[in-house]
Chain A
Amino acid sequence: MKTNSYLLSILVDDEPGVLSRIAGLFSGRGFNIDSLSVASTAEPDVSRITMVTKCEPHIIEQIKKQLHKLINVITVNDLTDKRYVQRQLALIKVNAKPEKKADILRIVDIFRCKIVDVGLSHYTIEVSGDSDKHDAIISLLKPTGIIEIASTGYIALARENGKH
């Protein structure tokens, strides 16, 4: 059966062990986590987990219900078919040989990225955007020599006015 990618935004109690409960639910029931990002929110004691999971369409209902069943989960919002903004942040360290520096700066400029660290022979570039943008810049920087990449999971918020 065809699998789809789903984007879930989950509000949880900010308590020790909550992430373990969610991770345990996924591993115990054979669900997949593709990307995960956790941070505090404007409300004290509440954290937001943004998660991308790939599964067959009939499984996503079960995932959402099982998540909701966890006592520490406050809301589960499936953003997949909604209007939302989504961002992923990456730091990309590249070789910056003198003859390549101009090329790199041009790419950084085109993608509206920032250089956040400069060394004698490297640049570290900050990229923020959706996965297409990340894929594109990585493929363009590859020829110059990517040294290493650190990337966050996705974060997302619904576009409608209101809290989820």
Chain B
Amino acid sequence: MKLTGAQILIKMIKAEGIDTIFGYPGGAVIDIYDTLAKDNDLRHILVRHEQGAVHAADGYARANNSVGVALVTSGPGATNTVTGIASAHSDSIPLVVFTGQVPTALIGNDAFQEVDIVGITRPCTKHNYLVKNANKLASTIKEAFHLARSGRPGPVLVDLPKDIQNTLVDFEEPKAISLKSYKPNYKPNKKQLNKVVDLICQARRPVIFTGGGVILSQASEEITRLAKMADIPVTASLMGLGAFPGSDPLWLGMLGMHGTYRANMSIGHCDLIIAAGVRFDDRVTGNIEKFAPEAKIVQIDIDPTSIHKNIEVQCPVVGDCKAALKGIIQLMEDKNPEDFKNGRREWLDRIEEWKSTTPLKYEQDDVVIKPQFVIEKLYELTKGDAIITTEVGQNQMWAAQYYHFNKPNHFITSGGLGVMGFGLPAAIGAKAACPDRLVVDVAGDGSIQMNIQELMTAIESKINVKIVILNNKYLGMVRQWQELFYEKVYSSTNMENAPDFVKLAEAYGAKGLRCTRPDEVESTLSEGLNYEGTVIMEFAVDREESVYPMVPAGGAITEMLLV
């Protein structure tokens, strides 16, 4: 069968089980768009900026546990994807990004809209390709998807010169991928698993610490089972929220710079950490010398580079989180539960005391809306069932603290790179993946303006997303640092000059709602969430509210600033 490169591309994307891609056309991908127009099975969502396409693909991948796909043109189209790719790389999200390229004969000649995107994205992709031979296109695409989703997932970029797209070649179904240089180790070492079980039996004050890896390996059930069978309290990094139910009594809340008092204190005083799918990022550990001084650490990770990178661990387990946790549970089932619940009552009581003396708190008066109050009401009205995406900054932290995630794949945020402007396109991607779910972007007035153009994408594609803007007319997180550490010099963080968000919503064809009073928060949310269509709900919140607890950068996580 003879097919053009463009036809092969579409065929291979569909063969991977992808039903929706996000993209933006241009001269170097016009052949692909021509082919797309004649294909009824693959949905293409036209974004309004290429960065939006990658974040949307990211949201799609996370909501769906699948691979997100973006398609953009060469040059500026390609460079606009870099932030999205770097974010997905940081968070280990499986994406395949297809970029157009100038014809092979022109590569290296500084042609119009030519850029060495393979060179530019080398450090922020899991791998990337420039396809120079149309006969290798199908196998390269298959390999790209294989790399994106296997092992520690990540973004893969495939650069497609224009002539490759319109060359007719004999299409042959590519063989199963087998790479001599890439064989991720899924199966954990049995000896190490036995060691983990011994450590659990010896521990008096254990804590489970989950990260994005648990969500990616779909090991939520196993984490929950392990915690419950051995009465081990659970904390999580930002990326790990939802792996363990936020409403469970064993839940400690998030760990780290804006972690709960009890989570940070538990890490400070525990004698064992069972860490799964985490990389001990500086936002979680604070001062590494003072992190968990009394604890032995078990670290389960599919990526050997994560182990011993930031912190010394006593029991590394290289393998898939789900497989490792299953193995641990199996070994524990052969034991008497009394063996591994030793002295637990005392530990759980201590945690309970931390929780009751120093809970997450804010005070809502009847004059000014507190941002935390908005998130709590959002949680109540959605029964904790919505998919929440966030922008970056205070909005992200309040969403993490006050929306109690009970299920995995419900919290979609740019965790590692911290990209402002992530939430709206990610919400569009998540909604495209899960049309029956309620998807809410929790935004700040600063972040939302970074990719506001994607509102048009939502309207055009009839992808109904809810945007909650916590408007404090500041770049709130930076302002908070300036208040605490820079003598209140609010340099360039005042955002009083802002658009009228209600009119802005209306200009795009969305609904706009504004709320300025605490007693109207619930009715505004209710109206917005029940509206059939995309809506911006703007809440004028306390301008100088800060996120607490807070661990000053470089401090020990047990030394928190509390309100």
Instruction: Please give the residue numbers on chain A whose beta carbons come within 8 Å of chain B beta carbons, in ascending order.
Output: 12-13, 16-17, 20-21, 24-25, 28, 58, 61-62, 65-66, 68-69, 71-74
> Given the known A-B contacts A20-B119, A62-B308, are A71 and B303 also in contact in the complex, defined by CB atoms under 8 Å?
no
Asked if B147 and A71 make an inter-chain contact with CB atoms under 8 angstroms apart, the answer reads: yes
- Contact between chains at A68 and B304 (CB < 8 Å): yes
Known contacts A65-B304, A66-B305; decide if A74 and B122 are in contact (CB<8 Å): no
Which chain A positions have C-beta within 8 A of B147? 71
Whole-angstrom distance between the Cβ of A60 and the nearest chain B Cβ: 11
Are A17 and B181 in contact, with the CB atoms below 8 A? no
A20 touches B182 (CB 8 A): no
Q: How far is the CA of A21 from the CA of B127 in the complex (A)?
A: 10
B residues in contact with A74, CB < 8 Å: 180-181
- Check: B118 CB closer than 8 A to any chain A CB: yes
Q: Would A73 and B181 be within 8 Å (CB), given that A17-B118, A20-B119, A24-B122 are in contact? A: yes
Does B37 reach chain A (CB closer than 8 Å)?
Answer: no
**A16: B residues at CB distance < 8 A:** 130
Tell me how far the C-beta of B503 lies from the nearest C-beta in chain A, rounded to whole angstroms: 45
Question: B305 is contacted by which of A13, A17, A65, A71 (Cβ under 8 Å)?
Answer: A65
Q: Is the interface of B mostly helix, strand, loop or mixed?
A: mixed
Known: A20-B119, A24-B123, A62-B309. A72 touches B181 (CB 8 A): yes
Least Cβ–Cβ distance between A7 and chain B, in angstroms? 21
Residue of A nearest to B151 (CB): A69
* Chain A residues, CB < 8 A from B309: 62
One of A12, A17, A58, A72 near B308 (C-beta < 8 A): A58
21 contacting pairs across A/B (C-beta < 8 A) = A13-B181, A17-B118, A17-B119, A17-B122, A20-B119, A20-B122, A28-B123, A58-B308, A61-B308, A62-B305, A62-B309, A65-B304, A65-B305, A66-B305, A69-B305, A71-B127, A71-B147, A71-B179, A71-B182, A72-B181, A74-B180
Total of A-B residue pairs, C-beta within 8 Å: 36
Bound: A12/B179 CA distance, A? 12
Q: List B contacts of A12 (CB < 8 A).
A: 181
Residues 90-135 of B contacting A (Cβ, < 8 Å)? 118-119, 122-123, 126-127, 130
> Which chain B residue has the least Cβ–Cβ distance from A23?
B122
Contacts of A68 in B (CB 8 A): 304
Best-surrounded residue of A69, A72, A73 (most CB of chain B within 10 A) = A69
In the assembled complex, the CB of B326 is this many whole angstroms from the nearest CB of chain A, namely 25
Given contacts A61-B308, A66-B305, contact A71 B126 (CB under 8 A): yes
Question: B342 to nearest A CB, angstroms?
Answer: 34
CB distance from A42 to the nearest CB of B (A): 16
Cβ distance B130 to chain A, nearest Cβ, rounded Å: 8
> With a CB–CB cut-off of 8 A, which chain A residues contact B123?
24-25, 28
CA–CA, A66 and B119, complex, Å: 18
Complex contacts, A73 vs chain B, CB 8 Å: 181
Which residues from chain A contact B118 at a C-beta distance below 8 Å?
17
Residue in A closest to B152 when the chains form the complex, CB atoms: A69
B158, chain A: closest CB distance, angstroms: 13
Q: How far is the CA of A12 from the CA of B181 in the complex (A)?
A: 8
How long is the Cα–Cα vector from A136 to B182 in the complex, in angstroms? 43
Instruction: Check B181–A71 contact: CB distance below 8 A.
Output: yes
**B window 299-319: CB within 8 A of A:** 303-305, 308-309
Contacts of A72 in B (CB 8 A): 181
- Cα A24 to Cα B309 in complex, Å, equals 18
Q: Which residues of A contact B122 (CB under 8 A)?
A: 17, 20-21, 24
Give B309's nearest chain A residue, CB to CB: A62
Query: For A71, what are the chain B residues with a Cβ–Cβ distance below 8 Å?
Result: 126-127, 147, 179, 181-182
Cα–Cα, bound, A98→B130 (Å): 57
| Closest beta carbon of chain A to B382's beta carbon, Å | 39
Interface hits, B159-197 → A, CB 8 Å: 179-182
Nearest chain B residue, comparing its CB with the CB of A72? B181
A-B pairs, 10 with minimum CB distance: A74-B181, A71-B127, A65-B305, A65-B304, A28-B123, A71-B182, A24-B122, A66-B305, A24-B123, A69-B305
A66 vs B182: C-alpha distance when bound (angstroms): 13
Across-interface contacts of A65 in B (CB, < 8 A) = 304-305
Please give, as numbers and ranges, the residues of chain B lying within 8 Å of A13 by CB-CB distance: 181
CB distance from B139 to the nearest CB of A (A): 14
Residues of B within 8 A of A28 (CB): 123
Docked complex Cα distance between A58 and B309 (Å): 9
